[in-house]
Amino acid sequence: MPYNPEAVSRLTVTLPRFALARMIRLVRDLYRISRMPAYRQRIESELPEAARFNPGHDSVMMGYDFHLTEGGPKLIEVNTNAGGGLFAFLAHRPDAALAEAELSRRLEAELKGSFAEEMQAFSRGKRLAPQFVAIVDEKPKEQFLYPEMEAFTRLFGQSGCRAVIADPAELVAGEGGVFFDGEKVDLVYNRHCDFYLEGPQMAGIRAAYLARQVCLTPNPFTYGLLGDKRRMVLWSDPVVLGELGVGAASARLLAETVPQSFLLDHLDRGQTWKTRKQWAFKPVSRFGSRGVLLGPKATRKRFDELPGEDTLVQELVPPSMTPGDEPGGEMKTDFRLYVYRTRILGVAARLYRGQVTNMRTPGGGFAPVRLI
């Protein structure tokens, strides 16, 4: 994968070991909670059909994003299609040639292993690994992380697995399966941000997924359990956690690391406007930082336009700061854990300026993390 100066920062970020330990513990607690029958029953009525379907496997390359505060880490959101994992690896190996040479050795057991486990779970042990993978995104060549998708095709190729990068329109998909150039795809690595497969572009893949004709990872089931921002409301409610039977230690950890979160519809709008400076307003139907409105910058007109049922109101947790070597000084910093099930694949920092995470900030991007 070619070195991309826009995606990889020259800076190194420090992270206290105790903070990383708490992040890892939270990730594992959330995964265990997501497997509790009471938890799944609690949220089932909120999920669309595609998310109620259990495909029998999980999701590769999940991302758990944190801000670091004086009181410890705070979970900002969970992503089921977290990009940048290979850029994060490059951040730890800024020499591109060295990184390319070490890529398979360092990541084979983790990344390729996770895709193999997905295939084994999907096929109920009949297939040890995928043979033909389609990496799917909307207009992939126009995506900022397209070089990473190319690196994944090489990673798959090293183990004899054919891989292609495709827009959904390039696939023939339906209840009979997913096909590319007449060849049946057995695993779709889904980088598309239609998480519930609700748009016409993803209709064919949705049909194949529900018919169990393709292993789709990440998938709507895992997104509904962990990635949907509305889950933050449940995780930050100690009463509900108690009703679900979440243990005292886990409930205490969630109370300390998950910011208070509500749906705007469940709050008094007038009071929320008055206290807006303590909140961030996030659309539940969009990914990453798109559409996020920080309370201190909110205008009354913009606030009044927020759809109550689709807006998460989350306690505002400012990012920590890292001294920069570019004009403008410090860089805002968040931390992303890359995860498969409860297995930590890696940790990276993301450096940026402006209101929200921006991988195009000069001097910013993914940065290596040094534990202290």
Q: What is the pLDDT of residue 97?
A: 47
Mean pLDDT over 213-228 rounds to 96
- Residue ranges with strand state E in the chain: 13-15, 62-69, 72-79, 132-136, 162-166, 172-174, 177-180, 183-185, 187-190, 215-217, 261-263, 279-283, 293-294, 311-315, 320-322, 331-340, 343-352, 365-367, 369-371
Residue type, 44: E
What is the average pLDDT value for the chain, to the nearest integer? 89
Q: Where are the domains of the chain?
A: 13-230+321-371
- Is the pLDDT reported for residue 180 higher than 50? yes
Q: Are 316 and 328 in contact (CB under 8 A)?
A: no
Mean pLDDT over 148-172 rounds to 92
Confidence of residue 290 (pLDDT cuts 50, 70, 90): low
The neighbouring-strand residues paired with 333 are 320, 351
Q: What is the pLDDT of residue 315?
A: 97
**What span, in angstroms and rounded, lies between the C-alpha atoms of 63 and 60?**
9
Nearest to 314 by CA among 297, 288, 295, 291: 295
Residue 305 burial class via C-beta count within 10 angstroms: exposed 0-12, middle 13-18, buried 19 and up: exposed
- Give me the sign of the Cα torsion angle 255, 258, 264, 265: negative
The neighbouring-strand residues paired with 335 are 66, 349
Supply 27's token pair. Answer: 């990730």
Confidence of residue 17 (pLDDT cuts 50, 70, 90): very high
Convert the pLDDT of each residue in 75-91 to its tens digit: 999 999 878 777 676 66
Angstrom distances, CA of residue 78 to CA of 5, 152, 319: 26, 22, 16
**What span, in angstroms and rounded, lies between the C-alpha atoms of 209 and 54?**
10
Q: Are 180 and 135 in contact (CB under 8 A)?
A: no
Convert the pLDDT of each residue in 135-146 to its tens digit: 999 999 999 889
Q: What is the pLDDT of residue 286?
A: 57
Residue type, 7: A
The neighbouring-strand residues paired with 177 are 174
**What span, in angstroms and rounded, lies between the C-alpha atoms of 309 and 271?**
17
Mean pLDDT over 57-68 rounds to 94
**What span, in angstroms and rounded, lies between the C-alpha atoms of 16 and 164?**
40
Q: What is the pLDDT of residue 10?
A: 80
Q: Are 74 and 317 in contact (CB under 8 A)?
A: yes
Q: Which fold has domain 13-230+321-371?
A: Rossmann fold (3.40.50)
Q: What is the pLDDT of residue 346?
A: 84
**What span, in angstroms and rounded, lies between the C-alpha atoms of 132 and 289?**
32
Nearest to 330 by CA among 9, 7, 1, 41: 9
Helices (H) and strands (E) in the chain, counts: 14, 19
Query: CA 132, 135, 141, 146: dihedral to nearest 10 degrees?
Result: -110
> Which carries the bigger pLDDT value, residue 110 or residue 341?
341
Q: Which of 1-5, 10-14, 114-118, 248-252 has the lowest mean pLDDT?
A: 1-5
Convert the pLDDT of each residue in 239-278 to its tens digit: 999 999 999 999 999 999 999 999 999 999 999 999 999 9
Confidence of residue 159 (pLDDT cuts 50, 70, 90): confident
Nearest to 265 by CA among 281, 277, 254, 278: 281
Q: What is the pLDDT of residue 216?
A: 98
- Is the pLDDT reported for residue 105 higher than 80? no
**What span, in angstroms and rounded, lies between the C-alpha atoms of 358 and 195?**
21
Residue for token digits 């109620």?
52
Convert the pLDDT of each residue in 335-368 to its tens digit: 999 999 999 888 889 888 876 555 566 677 888 8
**What span, in angstroms and rounded, lies between the C-alpha atoms of 204 and 200?**
8
Supply 138's token pair. Answer: 């909307």
**What span, in angstroms and rounded, lies between the C-alpha atoms of 171 and 252?**
46
Q: What is the pLDDT of residue 8?
A: 76
- Is the pLDDT reported for residue 98 higher than 60? no
Confidence of residue 104 (pLDDT cuts 50, 70, 90): very low
Decide the pairing of beta strands 62-69 and 331-340: antiparallel
Mean pLDDT over 192-197 rounds to 94
Convert the pLDDT of each residue in 124-134 to its tens digit: 999 999 999 99
